[in-house]
A and B are shown apart, each in its own frame.
Chain A
Amino acid sequence: MAAYSKKVMEHFMNPRNVGEIKDADGIGEIGNPVCGDMMSFYIKVKDNKLEDVKFKTFGCGAAIAVSSMVSEAAKGKTLDEALRITNKDIAKKLGGLPKNKLHCSNLGADALHKAIKDYLDKKGK
């Protein structure tokens, strides 16, 4: 079904870091139900590092797997390192995504970056 890689299916069936962080330092949201996928990322920052990353996602198998992979890749990284994670990296880590899913579902890194920017904005104020 849907020609997903083993890695995608593995993350889809066992997604890492699902949930919300109540007192999150930053929140990033992307997408909307009209286009099919919607992701919310929550981060906790300590000493310039992502101490915790959680997500909630409405969407297809790819969107959920992407969110899970982003959370895994970002956890423990410095903010700079996390900001350098790209959607492309995530697709690669997942063993590739079906062509038609590369754009709409592969927005996890953007959502993460939004959460980091939200944190930086709040901190700046």
Chain B
Amino acid sequence: MNSKIRKDNKKRIFFDNASATRIDDRVFKEMESYFRENYGNPSSLHDFGELAKSAVESARKKVANLIGASAEEIYFTSCGTESNNLALWGLVRALKGKGNHIISSVIEHYSVLNPLKEMKKNGWNISLVPVDECGLINTKDIENEITDSTILISIMHANNEIGTIQKLKEISLIAKKNNIIFHSDGVAAAGIIPVNVRELGIDAYSFSAQQLHGPKGVAALFIKKGTRIKPIFLGGTQEKGRRAGTENVPGIVGFGKACELAKIKMEDNIKYISKLRDNLINGIINKVKNVKLNGHATDRLPGNVHISFKYIEGESILLMLNMEGIAAASGSSCTSQALKSSHVLNAIGLSPTMAQGSVLFSLGKYNTVEEVSRLLEVLPPIVKRLREMSPIYKE
């Protein structure tokens, strides 16, 4: 299919905003001069460097403002994965001597789960709490795992697949009561739903520009003032020595602008996108039999539509949608390079068949009512066609 990727932008529909977002034109415009004119290194003393430095610092304020932090608590990184790695490795190594036990959950992103796996091999004790069938963590389970050697709790804000939003405030109260550092992976949530790290009582928070109509290649880690953390990159003194390496100045500038726009328009966007979401959910349920909405009924990201289509497999659905110019994602094992169905879908107890038949439509501010209608026209015949081919289909 690579040879005939559709060029006619009008007909293409992007319902995969959980994997990437289209950059906002205003963000792109803001970045441009930092490639072409103000390309100095922020560490340089001359005017080129000065300009770059002040652009980075101005962006830092906007990024901090999105989550209710102060600028000095924001550390720029290259992606959400790096932010999570910096948080986990940086915090646990700074806390060495205090304990070696970390509590997290079974539905975290791989950029949390895989570092934890590696830590386990290196002497740390890891507890992963389960989730219920909606993807929610029972905070009692976290409380029950706490021991004298627990140093860190890391729980994602919203799940990138099924969109379930966790009760961070409850978790932070437990962490505080037990004097444990609390990190949250907010990549799927920041810029989409309101976040205030002070009100939520979070010590470290990861979030990324490309999820909020900013550029790829730039993200941030919020670290509450006074929290000790060790760098994972060693080199220069950028980001107060906590993240060495020349700053991605255009990216950071774009991230700042994207955060500013996300903050101003958040309420409107939530209203608009959740209406599209509910139209799509109701439309699918009305038009297609034997489907199941995965995730939580109310504690759910505004753009998340995660549906299992019984009797058929996700990759086939994606291929046929793609032929129609519609982009979506799936938790089916056939769509993963590792050929394993999504750990999140296993964790919510979805049967293997329903996990295979899952499709994630993630909506964003650039999607329209017309696009949702188009999908609702195209999807039912695709499901019908694949079901007629399926040996397990029963009317």
Contacts and interface: CB of A to CB of B under 8 A. Distances in A.
Interface stretch (B114-122, B123-131, B316-324): B316-324
Contact of B319 (A12, A32, A39): A12
Contact of B390 (A57, A60, A104, A105): A57
B367 interface: no
Given A9-B1, A37-B334, A59 B322 contact: no
Interface stretch (B42-50, B141-149, B295-303, B307-315): B307-315
9 contacts: A1-B1, A2-B315, A13-B320, A36-B334, A36-B356, A37-B313, A60-B319, A61-B316, A105-B334
Contacts of B389: 15, 18, 56-58, 64
A33 B390 CA distance: 11
A49 B31 CA distance: 68
A58 B333 contact: no
10 A-B pairs with least C-beta separation:
A60-B334, A56-B391, A60-B315, A40-B391, A33-B353, A34-B352, A36-B333, A58-B390, A61-B319, A36-B334
Interface size class, chain B: 20 to 34
Contacts of B332: 36, 60
Interface string A48-62: 000000001111111
Contact of A61 (B315, B341, B392): B315
B316 A59 contact: yes
Interface of A: 1-4, 6, 9, 12-13, 15, 18, 29, 32-40, 56-64, 100, 104-105
Given A58-B313, A60-B315, A61-B316, A29 B334 contact: no
A56 B2 contact: no
Contacts of B199: none
A35 to B, nearest CB: 7
A59 B334 contact: yes
Contacts of B388: 18
A33 B315 CA distance: 13
B337 interface: yes
B321 to A, nearest CB: 10
A33 B352 contact: yes
Interface in B75-90: none
Contacts of A37: 313, 334
Interface in B1-55: 1-3
